[in-house]
Structure 1
Amino acid sequence: MHSTKILAALTATTAAVALTACADPTTNSTTTEQSNSSTAASTTHYDVSAIPTVDEIAALVPDEIRKRGTLRNGASTGYAPAEYMAADGQTPIGYDIDINRALAKVMGLQEGTTKHSEFPTIIPALGTKFDVGLSSFTITSEREQQVNMISYLNVGSAWGVAQGNPKNFDPSNPCGMTIAVQTGTAQETYANDLSNQCVADGKEKITVMPHELQTDIATKLISGQYDATLADSTVIGYTSAQSGGKIVQLGDTFESAPQGVAVSKDDAALTEAVQKAMQYLMDNGYLTDILATYGADSAALTSADVNPAVD
């Protein structure tokens, strides 16, 4: 979206019914177990043991990965429910982690592993440190020039504020406010575009506060250091549930866009294997089941496309 249209578009989001393709944060976005305690949520995961290997897909996996037996994923693990750390502070969990494990099963590998990496460092490490990047990557034309992107989710953005909106944040007029975002995300770009438009309109700029971890933002939002946060709608919904309502979504979901698995441009064979494995997970209901564990099943796509056309 062009920056000249952003503020106007925000005021019209209440009518944007088509943009609510991801989990509805106004409803319970976690399982009952997750809602009851943060500890229970920290141990939630999807059991991929019943997912079969598909021989024709396994045959596509590059020899190096097949011999290693692992599908190595890089993720910024502070973005629940997509990717975050369990209570031990060392074990990555979340639906992207489970999806990577499921892909590995279909591809005939022993396991899918995930290591934490700061968000902006994941794509440059593909093909060396990591095989894939499942870390809530919004598919953009810029990213498609850097890596191959295989679509699997459709997720919108949403505003989050402290309960009761004590800072009186108005999504239709964010100028002069302090907004927290995760570094390197589409929301950081969006917030900076909003700020530039504010200045162009003769209004006060937005103070955009980037953080490596979305979990750090939640604490500061509750304490009143920030006016609002902007993140994936699934993240806002999950954060609201885990905070016991101390953080709530303000306004409707907007700017809905596909997310994708990132694979090195230099690895056509792995790209094809991941695409076909993801399509298998879609066609057989596994992707929806995994997402449902985290209350995000309505975000699932039905077609795994390589580098789909995006605005």
Structure 2
Amino acid sequence: MHTKRIFSATTTLALTLAVAACSDPSTNSGQTGSASQSNSATSAAHTSYDVTSIPTVEEIAALVPEEIKARGTLRNGASTGYAPAEYMASDGQTPIGYDIDINRALAKVMGLTDATTKHAEFPTIIPALGTKFDVGLSSFTITAEREQQVNMVSYLNVGSAWGVAAGNPKSFDPSNPCGATIAVQTGTAQETYAATLSQECTAAGKAQITIMPHDMQTDIATKLIGGQYDATLADSTVIGYTGAQSAGKIEQLGDTFESAPQGVAVSKDDEKLTTAVQAALQYLMDNGYLSDILASYGAQDAALSTADINPAAK
């Protein structure tokens, strides 16, 4: 079940790595990660997983819709400002990250000759499924609301974490965020959670939270280090990875909390593709490929063992 990994170091990340988050800190889904787990990404180089050894599984390939078979390409949409899941290489044009590698692995299992990932702003990905994109691998937290829009196939379980400049110079207190300035990614569950926290602050007669949303999050790291923000709220994998790339100038504050499952988004109108994605993900899980892909980004502990369709509705 262990699979061979071949890595290629191709780029060193800039300090402006994205620290946006897409997991829902208000949803307790069981397994909770730890701070040490989320900080396990230590390499500054892009490590790309070689999917050439992953075989085509004929019974899974038979599930793929004819239009996609004829095209030969699995088209993914991702907001590429979210390392280590999806971000841009040093050329500013090539999407890289574990979600990009997972998309390529899915295409291999499905017998497709190619897999592409195109950048899209996070809120625009779901509306484009079934037309511009076949799948959305962009760290989507699985929620009942999203399951009303698209089919979600689970593959990861990721917690949330607070990130601050080294030494916490703003003395940010996660237990009392009222009055703080917090950076988040636009359209994510974390933005919603920050708004809920702010409402709780004002209801208690305290100062509201100043929420700073960003479409790409490419400037959060420098602004956090520069003292413009008190903290950022992000997936634990993002905080850990960004901290590693910032040479210790950004650190996680407190433990990872409230894990939630993430899923591959597929159009509600494409049940056949949904079934193919579920089967291919389960194959990657069962044969160790998913854990190996995530391990090249220090995120192997996030892998799920069961690919479920729309688990929030169960």
TM-score, length-normalised on structure 2?
0.89
State yes or no: 1:50 paired with 2:63.
no
Q: CA deviation at 1:259?
A: 0.1
State yes or no: 1:19 paired with 2:22.
no
Contact 1:139–1:310 (Cα < 8 Å) also in 2:
no
From 150, 169, 173, the equivalent of 1:166 is 169
- The alignment partner of 1:90 has SS state of coil
State yes or no: 1:132 paired with 2:145.
no
Contact 1:23–1:29 (Cα < 8 Å) also in 2:
no
* Paired letter, 1:304: A
Report 1:148-187 matches (<5 A).
Answer: 148-187=151-190
Quick one: structure 1 residues 282 and 98, their matched pair in 2 at CA, closer, same or farther if it must change by over 3 Å?
Answer: same
Q: CA deviation at 1:212?
A: 1.1
From 116, 119, 130, the equivalent of 2:119 is 116
Q: CA deviation at 1:214?
A: 2.8
RMSD, aligned α-carbons: 2.0
* Paired letter, 1:133: G
State yes or no: 1:71 paired with 2:84.
no
Query: What does residue 291 of structure 2 align with?
Result: 288
From 75, 79, 84, the equivalent of 1:81 is 84
* Paired letter, 2:164: V
Structure that is richer in helix per residue: 1
> After TM superposition, what 4+ stretches of structure 1 lie above 3 angstroms from structure 2?
none
Contact 1:76–1:117 (Cα < 8 Å) also in 2:
yes
Q: CA deviation at 1:22?
A: 8.8
Q: CA deviation at 1:199?
A: 0.8
- The alignment partner of 1:19 has SS state of coil
Query: What does residue 193 of structure 2 align with?
Result: 190
State yes or no: 1:244 paired with 2:247.
yes
Query: What does residue 218 of structure 1 align with?
Result: 221
- The alignment partner of 1:84 has SS state of strand
Query: What does residue 18 of structure 2 align with?
Result: none
Q: CA deviation at 1:186?
A: 1.2
Quick one: structure 1 residues 105 and 23, their matched pair in 2 at CA, closer, same or farther if it must change by over 3 Å?
Answer: farther
CA distance in 2, matches of 1:98, 1:23: 24
Contact 2:34–2:255 (Cα < 8 Å) also in 1:
no
If asked which structure has higher relative contact order (CA below 8 Å, sep 6+), I would say 2
CA distance in 2, matches of 1:172, 1:285: 38
Quick one: structure 1 residues 285 and 105, their matched pair in 2 at CA, closer, same or farther if it must change by over 3 Å?
Answer: same
* Paired letter, 2:204: D
Contact 1:23–1:234 (Cα < 8 Å) also in 2:
no
* Paired letter, 2:281: M
Q: CA deviation at 1:310?
A: 6.2
Query: What does residue 9 of structure 2 align with?
Result: none
Contact 1:159–1:249 (Cα < 8 Å) also in 2:
yes
Contact 1:21–1:154 (Cα < 8 Å) also in 2:
no
CA distance in 1, matches of 2:269, 2:203: 41
Q: CA deviation at 1:219?
A: 1.4
CA distance in 2, matches of 1:140, 1:258: 9
CA distance in 2, matches of 1:303, 1:18: 14
Q: CA deviation at 1:287?
A: 0.1
CA distance in 2, matches of 1:96, 1:17: 23
Question: Structure 2, unaligned stretches of length 5 or more?
Answer: 1-23
CA distance in 2, matches of 1:251, 1:69: 45
Query: What does residue 28 of structure 1 align with?
Result: 40
Quick one: structure 1 residues 266 and 55, their matched pair in 2 at CA, closer, same or farther if it must change by over 3 Å?
Answer: same
Q: CA deviation at 1:101?
A: 0.3
Q: Once structures 1 and 2 are overlaid, which stretch shifts more, 207-216 or 155-164?
A: 207-216
Q: CA deviation at 1:111?
A: 1.3
Give the number of aligned pairs.
290
Query: What does residue 3 of structure 1 align with?
Result: none
Quick one: structure 1 residues 46 and 22, their matched pair in 2 at CA, closer, same or farther if it must change by over 3 Å?
Answer: farther
- The alignment partner of 1:134 has SS state of strand
Contact 1:162–1:247 (Cα < 8 Å) also in 2:
yes
The Cα offsets for residues 261-309 of structure 1, whole Å up to 9 and x where unpaired, read as 0000000000000000000000000000000000000000000000003
* Paired letter, 2:269: D
Contact 2:76–2:118 (Cα < 8 Å) also in 1:
yes
CA distance in 2, matches of 1:99, 1:72: 12
CA distance in 1, matches of 2:105, 2:31: 29
Q: CA deviation at 1:184?
A: 1.0
CA distance in 2, matches of 1:114, 1:134: 9
Contact 1:19–1:253 (Cα < 8 Å) also in 2:
yes
